[in-house]
Chain A
């Protein structure tokens, strides 16, 4: 931790102090930070917390099967499971020198260590594996930090969050920082945390990634959405993860 702070000081000295964020400032203070499940009905929360009635477990179970497949299989290396791993993603991959999310890590494992091809983003297999890995961190606090290597990705994500876009000319921040808890037509605006994802959404009647949700947010303000799995969305996912730090991971969550 001290080493990390030293790195920050070094970076701070190298560039102007305005662009270096040691402790990112968020509009919503840490004490006010609440999960999206706070805006659900008690019935939906009960369904989310019931390991049988939560439909997300259909994907978790399939992921558990896939985890055993392949030569070597995922389980061949990760025999003790992956508890807590999902709380640290998106993370910087030193091999490719890019920021990757959990889906990206699974695909890298497949191409690097298993001799398999990458799974398409939002495919049932990739969603299932991601859900299986994320579920092992259920209830653990999200813990993602900005490092000198991920500083630019964080700023890019923050920039996307703060920029007005689409025909409605709205930025994410205008709803999810400034007006959370208020009504938007029939719905209560959440703080926009991604801690339930990949999640089962009633609107989709399906299981989906955070990127699919972001895609829906973009089309919701009538902006041209990004590709699922694009670096822009990964940067935004990173910004959201830092912003949600400390919240419990709820995947497989249930959302409206």
Chain B
């Protein structure tokens, strides 16, 4: 069960700088921890985050084992046209989760 939370303004003026926030529920298990019986807990992390504005990649980020659980990202975009932002997270095994949000630019 993975919950994604997005914060994207519904409307913006053309050329306005807008703040985007995205959070995903993920354990981000570093692979450096040991369980109660001394066994190594295998690494399980998201390795890549990408954000597309009307299909064009405009922001991406690589995640490493030091990133905390349930990572949140805050970044900015210039609102040039109405459309959608698509947020995609991909883990080390290639599994991915995505969600999108609409924006009206006037």
A residues with a Cβ closer than 8 A to B are 52-53, 55, 57-58, 61-62, 124, 205-206
Contact = CB atoms under 8 A, between A and B. Distances in A.
Interface in B1-43: 1, 3, 5, 7, 21, 23, 25, 27-28
17 contacts: A52-B5, A52-B23, A53-B23, A53-B72, A55-B72, A57-B5, A58-B5, A58-B25, A58-B70, A61-B3, A61-B5, A124-B1, A205-B27, A205-B68, A205-B69, A205-B70, A206-B69
Nearest to A53: B72
A52 B7 contact: yes
B3 A58 contact: yes
Given A62-B1, A205-B69, A205-B70, A53 B27 contact: no
Contact of A53 (B3, B21, B25): B21
A34 to B, nearest CB: 27
Q: Is the interface of B mostly helix, strand, loop or mixed?
A: loop
Interface in B27-81: 27-28, 68-70, 72
A205 B72 CA distance: 13
Contact of B21 (A52, A58, A205): A52
Given A55-B70, A205-B27, A205-B28, 13 more contacts: A52-B7, A52-B21, A53-B23, A53-B72, A55-B23, A55-B25, A58-B5, A58-B23, A61-B3, A61-B5, A124-B1, A205-B68, A205-B69
Contacts of B70: 55, 58, 205
A18 B3 CA distance: 52
Contacts of A61: 3, 5
B88 to A, nearest CB: 18
Nearest to A202: B68
Nearest to A124: B1
Nearest to B68: A205
Closest 7 CB pairs of A and B: A205-B69, A55-B70, A58-B25, A58-B3, A52-B7, A62-B3, A61-B3
A52 B28 CA distance: 20
Nearest to B72: A53
A57 B68 CA distance: 16
A213 to B, nearest CB: 17
Nearest to A204: B69
A55 B21 CA distance: 13
A52 B3 CA distance: 13
A256 B68 CA distance: 14
A173 to B, nearest CB: 29
Contacts of A205: 27-28, 68-70
Contacts of B68: 205
B30 to A, nearest CB: 10
Contacts of B69: 205-206
Looking at B1, B3, B68, B69, which has the most chain A CB atoms within 10 Å of its CB? B3
Contacts of A58: 3, 5, 23, 25, 70
Contacts of B27: 205-206
Contacts of B23: 52-53, 55, 58
A62 to B, nearest CB: 6
A53 B21 CA distance: 9
B4 to A, nearest CB: 9
Nearest to A56: B70
